[in-house]
């Protein structure tokens, strides 16, 4: 465990410049939007704070690829593989570092966007309505966070595995890497489709939706979502993780 913690800290340290710069840029972005409240249409200002959250998805893919590209570029992969740690520890440390980085950016985007959301939230909404909306949000958020983390982790592992596959033919890396990404994504979808049917028995996720049935009258309605796609993605992600660890341990020439 101590080796894993050391590797994790080293991976975060390698991204120190981004960890410092990106949150500042996100904060400046939301501050700029806050200054546009009286000059831009509220509909436009209300949609733009979500941009950093949407960019977190491709950023996770780029960071996952860069996590392995950097050691080969700096010729530090030899030192990393000479350490008395298993290949899966390296892979896990990089995946956790990517998830931590993306989580940091998303948290900063939400926190710096709260003043903007407070200004956009209709002031005429009554306190009971606010409490209903907040209660529904607290129920939904943990389940949605679980879904997002599973998808991000599986996506990060998929990108890392594709990069390691590309390293098998390092001279053809620019060609092999996109093909490996497409093929691994296709396999994830195909295997996931089979697993979805096998996991249909799993109880659904129950989210809460607040519907307005009359003026000032709101009704909380359940929304049932099947967890099978998320669980199948998790299973395939674990398989990809094992494959990537095996490639790094036995096949990839460092």
Q: Note the pLDDT of residue 212.
A: 58
Sorted by sequence, the CB contacts under 8 Å of residue 72 that are 6+ apart come out as 167
Q: What's the mean pLDDT in 30-56? A: 85
Are residue 90 and residue 132 in the same domain, yes or no?
A: no
pLDDT at position 248 over 50: yes
Higher pLDDT, 21 or 221: 21
Beta strands in the chain (DSSP E): 205-214, 217-225
Q: Is residue 13 domain-shared with residue 96, that is, in the same domain?
A: yes
Range of the domain at 171: 126-254
Same domain flag for 112 and 159: no
Do both 254 and 183 map to the same domain? yes
Q: Which residue, 78, 93, 121, sits at the end of a domain?
A: 121
CB 61 within 8 A of CB 125: no
* Residue 161 predicted with pLDDT over 80: yes
Band (169; pLDDT cuts 50, 70, 90): confident
* CA distance linking residue 231 with residue 176, whole number of Å: 29
Most confident of 46-55, 127-136, 192-201, 208-217: 192-201
Residue 65 DSSP one-character state: H
Task: Of 62-66, 89-93, 98-102, 111-115, give the lowest mean pLDDT range.
Answer: 111-115
Q: Which stretch of DSSP H or E encloses residue 12?
A: helix 2-14
Domain shared by 87 and 142, yes or no: no
For the segment 40-50, the average pLDDT, to the nearest whole number, is 82
DSSP category for residue 126: -
pLDDT bin (cut points 50, 70, 90) of residue 124 is: very low
pLDDT at 200: 87
Q: How much of the chain, in percent, has pLDDT values that exceed 70? A: 85
Same domain, 110 and 229: no
- At 153, the pLDDT band (50, 70, 90 cuts) reads very high
Closest C-alpha among 163, 174, 182 to residue 243: 163
Task: For residues 174 and 235, state if they share a domain.
Answer: yes
Q: Tokens standing for 99?
A: 């998830």
What the block records as the tokens of 208 is 């809460």
Report helix, strand or coil for 209. strand
49 and 115 in a single domain? The answer is yes
| Model confidence, pTM | 0.86
Q: Which of 121, 153, 187 is the last residue of a domain?
A: 121
Structure tokens at 193: 């489709």
Choose one of 82, 100, 121: the last residue of a domain: 121
**Could you tell me if 109 and 130 lie in one domain?**
no
Contact, 195 vs 209, CB < 8 A? no
User: What six digits make up the tokens of 231?
Assistant: 């669980």
Q: What is the mean pLDDT of residues 113-128?
A: 66
* pLDDT at res. 237: 93
Give per-residue pLDDT as tens, 94-107: 999 999 999 999 99
pLDDT digits (tens, 9 = 90+) for 11-25: 888 888 888 999 999
Strands 205-214 and 217-225: antiparallel
Mean pLDDT of the chain: 83
User: Residue 131 above 80 pLDDT?
Assistant: no
- The total of structural domains in the chain comes to 2
Nearest-angstrom CA–CA distance, 211 and 193: 32
Over the stretch 75-91, which tens digit does the pLDDT of each residue have?
A: 777 777 777 778 888 89
Say yes or no: 113 and 17 in one domain. Answer: yes
* In the predicted structure, residue 233 carries a pLDDT above the cut 70: yes
Task: Please indicate, yes or no, whether residues 226 and 145 belong to a single structural domain of this protein.
Answer: yes
Burial class (CB within 10 angstroms; exposed 0-12, middle 13-18, buried 19+) of 17: exposed
Task: For residues 142 and 75, state if they share a domain.
Answer: no
């Amino acid at each position: 465990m101590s080796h894993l913690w050391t590797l994790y800290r080293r991976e975060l340290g390698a991204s120190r410049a981004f960890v410092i710069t990106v949150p500042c840029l996100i904060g400046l972005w939301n501050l700029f939007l806050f200054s546009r409240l009286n000059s831009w249409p509220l509909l436009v200002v209300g949609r733009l704070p979500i941009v950093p959250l949407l960019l977190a998805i491709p950023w996770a893919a780029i960071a996952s690829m860069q996590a392995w590209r950097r050691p080969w570029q700096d010729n530090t992969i030899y030192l990393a593989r000479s350490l008395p740690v298993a290949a899966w520890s390296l892979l896990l440390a990089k995946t956790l570092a990517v998830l931590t980085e993306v989580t940091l950016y998303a948290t900063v985007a939400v926190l710096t966007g709260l003043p903007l959301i407070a200004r956009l939230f209709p002031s005429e909404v009554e306190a009971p309505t606010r409490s209903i909306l907040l209660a529904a949000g607290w129920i939904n958020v943990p389940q949605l966070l679980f879904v997002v983390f599973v998808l991000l982790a599986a996506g990060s592992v998929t990108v890392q595995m594709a990069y390691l596959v590309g390293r098998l033919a390092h001279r053809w890396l620019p060609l092999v890497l996109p093909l490996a990404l497409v093929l691994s994504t296709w396999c994830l979808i195909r295997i996931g489709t089979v697993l979805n049917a096998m996991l249909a028995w799993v109880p659904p996720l129950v989210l809460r939706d607040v519907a307005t049935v009359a003026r000032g009258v709101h009704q909380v309605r359940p929304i049932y979502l099947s967890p099978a796609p998320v669980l199948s993605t998790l299973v395939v992600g674990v398989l990809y993780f094992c494959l990537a660890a095996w490639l790094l341990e036995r096949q990839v020439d460092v």
